[in-house]
């Protein structure tokens, strides 16, 4: 009888661990490949330039894996429409919290730099260019003054 109870408790513990951690690990493995294909259509060179920019923003405080996870989740949520058919693993991965918690200034710099990534002709906003007073909004194809966004 005691052996049966120990077996059931062990199975419950393993099942709970798998539900909390194991599914997220599998989702990360499957979805990150798919998101990398969508976000980096030009391949590894584009991915390396993005990671280089992220390292510059964060002053090399974080590893490339953490920065890539952050980028895939934030930009993946903007690119992938969750109401269209998306596989379970991608949805699970995008809905999980990021491993990396950037401070306020790093987040602002991230959004300034990658607001319109991937680059589309006529839609890029250069954050270093102080002459552009209007920023394109991809969500409603409108324009906003920068002061309204601040």
Predicted local distance difference test score (pLDDT) of residue 64: 92
Predicted local distance difference test score (pLDDT) of residue 119: 57
Please, what is the end-to-end C-alpha distance for the chain in angstroms? 65
Whether the full predicted model's pTM is greater than 0.95, yes or no, is: no
Predicted local distance difference test score (pLDDT) of residue 66: 92
Predicted local distance difference test score (pLDDT) of residue 111: 85
Predicted local distance difference test score (pLDDT) of residue 139: 44
Domain ranges (residues) in the chain? 2-118
Each of the 150 residues of the chain gets a pLDDT tens digit; together they read 888 999 999 999 998 888 878 888 888 888 988 888 888 888 888 889 888 888 888 889 999 999 999 999 988 888 877 666 788 888 889 888 888 888 898 888 888 887 767 654 333 334 444 444 434 444 444 434 444 444
């Amino acid at each position: 009888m005691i052996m049966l109870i120990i077996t059931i408790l062990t199975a419950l513990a393993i099942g709970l661990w798998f539900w909390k951690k194991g599914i997220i690990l599998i989702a990360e493995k499957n979805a990150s490949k798919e998101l990398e294909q969508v976000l980096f259509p030009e391949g590894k060179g584009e991915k390396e330039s993005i990671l280089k920019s992220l390292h510059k923003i964060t002053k090399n405080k974080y590893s490339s894996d953490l920065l890539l996870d952050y980028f895939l989740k934030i930009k993946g949520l903007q690119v992938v429409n969750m109401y269209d058919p998306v596989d379970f693993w991608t949805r699970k991965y995008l809905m999980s919290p990021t491993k990396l918690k950037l401070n306020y200034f790093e987040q602002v710099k991230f959004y300034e730099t990658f607001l319109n990534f991937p680059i589309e002709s006529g839609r890029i906003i250069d954050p270093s260019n102080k002459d552009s007073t209007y920023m394109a909004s991809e969500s409603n194809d409108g324009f906003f003054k920068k002061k309204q966004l601040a």
